[in-house]
Chain A
Amino acid sequence: MAQIFHSSANTIARLSIIGAGLLVAGGLVTLDQLTRSPYTTEVGVARAQPVPFSHKHHANMGIDCRYCHTSVEKAAFAGIPPTKTCMNCHSMIFADAPMLEPVRESWRTGESLQWNRVHDLPQFAYFNHSIHVAKGIGCSTCHGRVDEMPLVHKANTLYMQWCLECHRAPENFVRPKDKIFDMAWTPPANQREVGLELVKEYKIDTEHYKMLDCNLCHR
């Protein structure tokens, strides 16, 4: 009787045992790494905007964050400035720059500029800027050195594990109230000590799992 299989089938069969394992393990690792890579998270990937607005340029001139993001201390949404805010300056400086034509067009027609959102939190997560500012979380903690970004990109993933990193141990991140808008602030060497003091001062309840309640963000 003729053999159905060539003798190499033995080797193939043995290799397939290891191969199948590697394939499954490799696939899972790839998926996991893909989820954490900038390909998915867009961390460090600058977004194109209708006008190439440079935060770096404007912040370095000494304009305060709140000049444009007016509601950051009072509301959930930090606020995107109306075209009028741009025109406060740009009706006089760079008034004819071709780069700013979309701004002038918006000013003439009354149609808002359509910025592309960089920090786009899913709808099922509730987030409020004002409470974070009020409890001593500075802009740069989440947004990174926006004053060094020509076009804004995400500095953090906004993944839930990233949120929890601070919600589990806010003492590692809180800063004095007068440093909230200080983009260059870095935690001091004794951050833990200072942080624990500040957590007490700001009345952040870390003892009753309040900061980790599902309902806090998923309302």
Chain B
Amino acid sequence: MSATAQDPNIGRVEIPDVLDLRHTYDSATDKINGVILTKKTPVPIAVAMGICFLLAGLLFMTIGRLLTMGIGIWGNNQPVAWAFDIINFVWWIGIGHAGTLISAILFLFRQEWRTSINRFAEAMTIFAVMCAGLFPLLHTGRPWLAYWLFPYPNVMQMYPQFRSPLMWDVFAVSTYFTVSALFWYTGLIPDLASLRDRAKNKLTKIIAGVAAMGWRGSARHWQRYDIIYLLLAGISTPLVISVHSIVALDFAVSQLPGWHTTIFPPYFVAGAVFSGFAMVLTLAIPVRALFGFKDFITQKHLDAISKVMLATGLIVVYGYAMEAFIALVYSANPHEEFLMKNRMFGPYAWSYWMLILCNAVIPQLLWFKRIRLHTGIVWVISIFINIGMWLERFVILVTTLHRDFVPSSWGMYKPTIFDFSMFIGTIGFFGLLMCLFIRFVPMIAGFELRELLHKKKSHHH
């Protein structure tokens, strides 16, 4: 630690500090706000926004067709009644886990490296949960009646079935979204205020001013802010575990081979964090290069994220191993055994082995420091993990469902063009929201960065 601080040439140290200490409060704030307080949108962002806008249009066209034609336009049907819709739901909600983990758990553990990526990861979480929520909503077939999912006094005298994990999902996901959004917005307030104070344009001043809710940065404000932020971090922490546990229970509570297993909740949570951190890297690496944020999001961050990915990835691999062990050796259940053999060598074997390659083999490269410090390779690995985590859900859903207990009801699953357009569409919608966020909201928590800068500088001088 002290060696790093005494070295004025931070760039030369193999793993640099979490931020470039040559920055002053002013220069850091200017750099962050500079992205917003300008009329110029960087060309890559504008191009990305355009592409994402078109893809989001594809999403809404697909939804329009879905609402007029019904969910029959998707490929799922008996015996594979859950397919792309649920795969994508679980995939997106998993991605959403990094935000809360970084913001809440790393905050409680006082991890310095969370500071420059938490805002970004939280925004990613909120947008990912929005995409995730679309799928089960549309999967119901009649989304305009989705309010039936909530317990309210109604003229049908109907009440939700609280013994169903699908019902728990409704509450888990909506709670998660609400708390994440609150947490994100609370953290934004001081930065919105500094945006308001630095803006030259009257309209920007008014918009940022309303959003900052009269923040003046008085001691009383800060005292209350610290309390509420700590409380929200405390509330969010169990949610990181609960949400994906409940998603896992959607499967584990059923009695199908390959789903009915107690390891699902922890194994799903690890997978969620794994995919969430991969998505943070996939997005943060290009963004930091584009805006020159390498002083704030340093190699140290990429290194730390890579280590978290490696650790959670190993838990996931352990999950795969236990799944195979339980099915083939321990359970002595012919259905479980058949399922596992079918998964490995049946018609969808390609997806299983691709999953092993993406999630179990390739991430092992992260054991090496040289690879963790190579931005390009880390980025490519993060893409593989994103694909691998999608395949994991594909394997879990499709291989279990397509071989029913009775061979007469066996079938194969083929996605239709609308399955793909819906999935690609949500990626576009997510990207569009991300681009808008990057352009119009401070993507790095400026005041936390200044605090960290203060702490680091006063500590060493």
- CB-based contact B214/A13 at 8 Å: yes
Given the complex of chains A and B, what is the CA–CA distance between A13 and B214 in angstroms? 9
Which of A83-91, A146-154, A157-165, A201-209 binds B? Answer: A157-165
Contact of B155 among A5, A9, A13, A157 (CB under 8 A): A157
Contact of A32 among B153, B206, B213 (CB under 8 A): B153
CB distance from A3 to the nearest CB of B (A): 10
CB distance from A27 to the nearest CB of B (A): 13
Q: Does A10 count as interface, using CB distance less than 8 angstroms?
A: yes
Residues of chain B with a CB closer than 8 A to A36's CB = 155
- CB-based contact A160/B156 at 8 Å: yes
- CB-based contact B157/A4 at 8 Å: no
- CB-based contact B153/A9 at 8 Å: no
Residues of chain B with a CB closer than 8 A to A186's CB = none
Interface size on B, residues (CB 8 A): 13
Interface size on A, residues (CB 8 A): 13
- CB-based contact B155/A4 at 8 Å: no
Given the complex of chains A and B, what is the CA–CA distance between A18 and B440 in angstroms? 29
Residues of chain B with a CB closer than 8 A to A9's CB = 214
Q: Which residue of B lies closest to A161 (CB)?
A: B157
Q: Does A35 count as interface, using CB distance less than 8 angstroms?
A: yes
Residues of chain A with a CB closer than 8 A to B155's CB = 35-36, 157, 159-161
Residues of chain A with a CB closer than 8 A to B206's CB = 4-5
- CB-based contact A4/B156 at 8 Å: no
Q: Which residue of B lies closest to A10 (CB)?
A: B214
CB distance from B154 to the nearest CB of A (A): 8
Q: Does B196 count as interface, using CB distance less than 8 angstroms?
A: yes
Tell me whether A161 and B156 are in contact in the complex, defined as CB-CB below 8 angstroms, given that A4-B209, A13-B214 are known contacts.
yes
Tell me whether A160 and B209 are in contact in the complex, defined as CB-CB below 8 angstroms, given that A13-B214, A32-B153 are known contacts.
no
A-B contact pairs, 26 of them (CB 8 A): A4-B196, A4-B202, A4-B205, A4-B206, A4-B209, A5-B206, A5-B209, A9-B214, A10-B214, A13-B213, A13-B214, A32-B153, A35-B155, A36-B155, A157-B155, A159-B155, A159-B156, A160-B155, A160-B156, A160-B157, A160-B158, A161-B154, A161-B155, A161-B156, A161-B157, A164-B157
Which residues on B are within 8 Å of A, measured CB to CB? 153-158, 196, 202, 205-206, 209, 213-214
Which residues on A are within 8 Å of B, measured CB to CB? 4-5, 9-10, 13, 32, 35-36, 157, 159-161, 164
4 further A-B contacts with Cβ under 8 Å, apart from A4-B196, A10-B214, A164-B157, are A4-B205, A4-B209, A13-B213, A32-B153
